[in-house]
Amino acid sequence: MNLEIITPDKKVFAGEANAVTFPGTEGQFQVLNNHAPLVSTLGVGDVVVEATPGAAKQVYRIDGGVVEVLKNKVLVLAEAII
C-alpha cells in the first residue's frame, strides 16, 4: 500500500508499506494491504511503518491527527512529529 505521513510543515514519509500501526484515540490498531476503507482520529503515540518483511521498522512519534485508508492508499495528517 502507498503511505504518506504529512504535518503542517512538511511531508515526513512517502512510500510503500506492508503494515502500519497507529495510536488511535480509542486504542492502537494496524492497517495491512487491502484494508477496508477507514477514517480515524489519532492520539499521541508512535506510528510504526513496516516497509518490507525483515526490514527495520520506522517509527514516527506524533502528537495526534487523522488517518484515511482508501483503495490501498493511507494518508496520515499528523499535527506534529515529536
Which CATH number covers residue 26? Answer: 2.60.15.10
Indicate the pTM of the whole model.
Answer: 0.92
The answer to whether residue 65 scores a pLDDT higher than 90 is: yes
Enclosing domain of residue 63:
2-78
Rounded Cα gap, residues 17 and 8, in angstroms: 22
The answer to whether residue 53 scores a pLDDT higher than 80 is: no
Q: What domain count does the chain have?
A: 1
The mean per-residue pLDDT over the stretch 57-62 comes to: 96
Among the ranges given (16-25, 34-43, 50-59), the one the predictor scored with the smallest mean pLDDT = 50-59
Q: Which residue in the block uniquely carries the three cell numbers 515529536?
A: 82
